[in-house]
Every structure is written in structure tokens, then in C-alpha cells.
């Protein structure tokens, strides 16, 4: 398969932030390996957007906000099960900043997410309560976007949830696997791949994208 991006395609670069990279608060194994393929891919698209995990200080997704709980425990919140994380991507912090190895001057929009204190948001489109919207689907529709290509960190959380919601919003959707890396806690990577396949999200490699 080879795909030549058009003006109806968008590349969504998910959460390539210091806290998800080696040495960060919620480091994804080999997370830094996504940077070179993402820098290369971004040059093949006319539309590129980035997402940025952007939490309040005592965000409800942090284990530290739940006495007696620890990172990677799962708890029940008003909107359903929530994995609890180490404190990460706090608004304005160095950890929340994009990696300075990214070379992405062409990015058109940065979508911040996870800024409501009581709602997590893995997805770039719809928050974890499954109803609060970020506005990104509307932005894409106004701009005539038809296909979304998603890569970044982490495959099994923010990449997968963003891809699932892109598909639900009616976009043909692709996850670029070699430009993504997973956290893989409690079987989350296998579950995410099962969900993506069932939803008709295509999993491809970056060499499928040609100029
Ligand atoms: C993410 C866990 C918590 C991600 C964000 O970017 O995949 N994962 N917050
Ligand atoms: Zn987060």
C-alpha cells in the first residue's frame, strides 16, 4: 500500500513531550525513537497538528490525588475506570514541553487536552467522560479534512483513543505504528490493537506514506 497525502489529509502528532520520553515522569520505553520518523513524516503532509497533554497540578488522573493509591493502579471515577499515573505534563512545566528534538515548524494547530481538573483526556477529540469535546473534529470538518494519520505517544493510550475517536467522528483513520511507542500496562497494548482493528482503523508503517 502506498499513500500520497493530499490537502484532505492530516497528520496528528500525539504527546511527544518530555515527560513521556526517557528520563521523564511517565517515560514510555523507547519513546525517543518516534522523533526521527515523525520529523520525516511531517514533511510529507500539508496539514500537521500536535496534541499536548496539559494537566492541572492535582489532576484527577494522578495517583497522588488519591490517598492510598499508587501509579498504574486503576480506580473508579464518575465517568468509569481510570488508570492512575505518576504526576506528569503539568501545565507550564518542563515535562509538559515538547521535545526539543522535534523539528516541526509546519504545525498548524496545537490541541491541549486534560486541562479539566476532574476529567482525563487521552483522546484529542473527546475527553474521558465520553462527552466533553475538544473541538478538533469540528476544526477538521471546517477545513475539509477526510483522513487522519495518527502517531506519537503512547500507542495504547493517547494515540489509540485519538484514532478511535477520529474514526467515530467519520474520518478514515490510520495509526502509523513505527512512529509510535506504547506504555503497555495491564494488557493495554493488545486491548488497544483489538479495538483499533474492530473499529476499522488501519495500522500502517511510515514507509507507506510517499510524497
Ligand atoms: C498518556 C497516560 C496519561 C498518553 C497521557 O499520552 O498516552 N498516557 N496521559
Ligand atoms: Zn496525561
CA distance 41 to 163: 17
pLDDT tens-place string over residues 85-118 = 999 999 999 999 999 999 999 999 999 999 999 9
176 inside domain:
yes
* Pocket lining for ligand 1, CB < 6 angstroms: 15, 20, 53, 85, 122, 153-154, 157-158
Residue 101 is part of a domain; what is its CATH number? 3.40.50.850
Q: Which of 8, 3, 104, 6 has the alpha carbon at shortest distance from 51?
A: 104
32 inside domain:
yes
Task: Tell me what pLDDT residue 205 has.
Answer: 98
Q: pLDDT tier at 1 (50, 70, 90 boundaries)?
A: confident
130 inside domain:
yes
**Looking at the 3D structure of the chain, how many domains does it have?**
1
User: Relative to the CA of 161, which ligand 1 atom is closest?
Assistant: 7
Write down the pTM of the prediction.
0.98
pLDDT tens-place string over residues 54-86 = 999 999 999 999 999 999 999 999 999 999 999
Q: Which of 104, 112, 108 has the alpha carbon at shortest distance from 42?
A: 104
Residue 89 annotated in active site: no
Range of the domain at 39: 9-55+95-208
Q: Where are the beta strands (DSSP E) in 60-167?
A: 74-77, 80-83, 109-113, 147-153
40 inside domain:
yes
Say if CB 168 and CB 133 are below 8 A apart: no
Stretch 154-171: mean pLDDT: 98
66 inside domain:
no
Is the pLDDT at 189 greater than 90? The verdict is: yes
Task: Tell me what pLDDT residue 147 has.
Answer: 98
89 inside domain:
no
**Residue 167: enclosing H or E segment and its boundaries?**
helix 160-168
23 inside domain:
yes
From ligand 2's centre to the CA of 185, what distance in Å?
A: 14
154: preceding bond cis by omega (within 30 degrees)? yes
87 inside domain:
no
Residue 148 annotated in active site: no
Amino acid at each position: 500500500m502506498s499513500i500520497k497525502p493530499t490537502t484532505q489529509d492530516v497528520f496528528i502528532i500525539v504527546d511527544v513531550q518530555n515527560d513521556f520520553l526517557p528520563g521523564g515522569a511517565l517515560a514510555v520505553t523507547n519513546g525517543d525513537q518516534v522523533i526521527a520518523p515523525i520529523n520525516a513524516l511531517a514533511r510529507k503532509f500539508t496539514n500537521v497538528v500536535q496534541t499536548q497533554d496539559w494537566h492541572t497540578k492535582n489532576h484527577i488522573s494522578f495517583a497522588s490525588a488519591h490517598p492510598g493509591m499508587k501509579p498504574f493502579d486503576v480506580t473508579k471515577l464518575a465517568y468509569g475506570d481510570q488508570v492512575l499515573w505518576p504526576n506528569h505534563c503539568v501545565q507550564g512545566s518542563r515535562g509538559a514541553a515538547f521535545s526539543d528534538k522535534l523539528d516541526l515548524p509546519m504545525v498548524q494547530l496545537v490541541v491541549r487536552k486534560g486541562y479539566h481538573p476532574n476529567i482525563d483526556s487521552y483522546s484529542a477529540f473527546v475527553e474521558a467522560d465520553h462527552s466533553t469535546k475538544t473541538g478538533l473534529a469540528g476544526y477538521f470538518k471546517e477545513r475539509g479534512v477526510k483522513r487522519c494519520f495518527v502517531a506519537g505517544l503512547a500507542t495504547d493510550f493517547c494515540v489509540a483513543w485519538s484514532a478511535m475517536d477520529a474514526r467515530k467522528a467519520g474520518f478514515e483513520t490510520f495509526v502509523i505504528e513505527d512512529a509510535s511507542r506504547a506504555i503497555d500496562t495491564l494488557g493495554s497494548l493488545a486491548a488497544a490493537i483489538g479495538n483499533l482493528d474492530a473499529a476499522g482503523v488501519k495500522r500502517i508503517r511510515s514507509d507507506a506514506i510517499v510524497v
